Amino acid sequence: MRDRDEQQLFRAVREGDERAFERAYHLYHQRVRLMAWRLVRRSDRVDDLANETWCRAFNRRSDYDGRTPFLVWLAGILRNINRESARKYTGDASGPAVGETEPALDEATPEAIAADAEALAGLNDCVSRLPELDQTIVRLRFFENRTLKAVAQEVSIPESTLRDSRLPGVLEALRVCMEKKGIDFSLFSALGRGNLQRDIED
């Protein structure tokens, strides 16, 4: 969508045009889910956070003044909702483990959260270009934080083969694709933070 078209769309959103808001939802829904995942790293909480963000954005759509990008505005709403959830569930073992949000991410600006979502969208595109088996490996290892042993069992590959050849090949393919898109590969590397310790414990 061209910048002029976006400006017209968001002007209509501010004026209460529900069809315009629906178009904005379809344009940015996946980005909002990526922002939610980036904050909490828990797939079981992503949809709840994303849906609450859209509900609040709809109720406050007249507050959007157009001075910041729409995605950044949504990121601010999302971050506030996540912080409210963290306060609500503190000390409640039955509630979502919102405390698992990384402090650096929780303190990130809406601009940084939105930028990460754009980069993650590019990463998702790179992952989608991999063979189906490699996509599964990436999803299990880096998005679901499974140990090498668990991933190997899931995809029926010897753990040594996964560790020494298959996974390095997958990572190299992703690195090349991400560099072509101008995305820092360290973003992907950060997704696996903590996996090594789980491998050792396992």
**123-163 pLDDT, tens digit each:** 889 999 999 999 999 989 887 778 999 999 999 999 999 99
* % of the chain surpassing 70 pLDDT: 81
Show Cβ contacts of residue 27 under 8 Å, excluding neighbours closer than 6 positions.
1
Q: Residue 201: what pLDDT?
A: 47
DSSP, collapsed to helix, strand or coil, labels residue 29 as helix
d(CA 77, CA 171): 33
Length in residues, the chain: 202
Q: Residue 183: what pLDDT?
A: 85
d(CA 55, CA 42): 20
- Whether residue 202 has pLDDT greater than 60: no
Task: Compute the mean pLDDT over every residue in the chain, rounded to the nearest whole number.
Answer: 82
pTM over 0.85: no
Residues of the chain with CATH 1.10.1740.10: 1-109
DSSP code, position 142: I
Task: Tell me the CATH class for 1-109.
Answer: mainly alpha
- Whether residue 115 has pLDDT greater than 60: yes
Compare 158 and 1 and report the one with higher pLDDT. 158
Q: Residue 2: what pLDDT?
A: 56
Highest mean pLDDT of the ranges 18-22, 36-40, 157-161, 180-184: 157-161
Q: Residue 89: what pLDDT?
A: 56
Distance of CA 36 to the CA centre of its chain: 6
Compare 1 and 7 and report the one with higher pLDDT. 7
> Is there a contact between 53 and 77 (Cβ–Cβ < 8 Å)?
yes
- Whether residue 197 has pLDDT greater than 60: no
Mean pLDDT of 167-189: 87
3-state SS string over 30-66?
HHHHHHHHHHHCCHHHHHHHHHHHHHHHHHCHHHCCC
d(CA 140, CA 198): 14
Q: Residue 200: what pLDDT?
A: 42
Compare 147 and 2 and report the one with higher pLDDT. 147
Structure confidence by residue, pLDDT tens digits, 35-92? 888 888 777 788 899 999 999 999 998 888 888 889 999 999 999 999 888 776 555 5
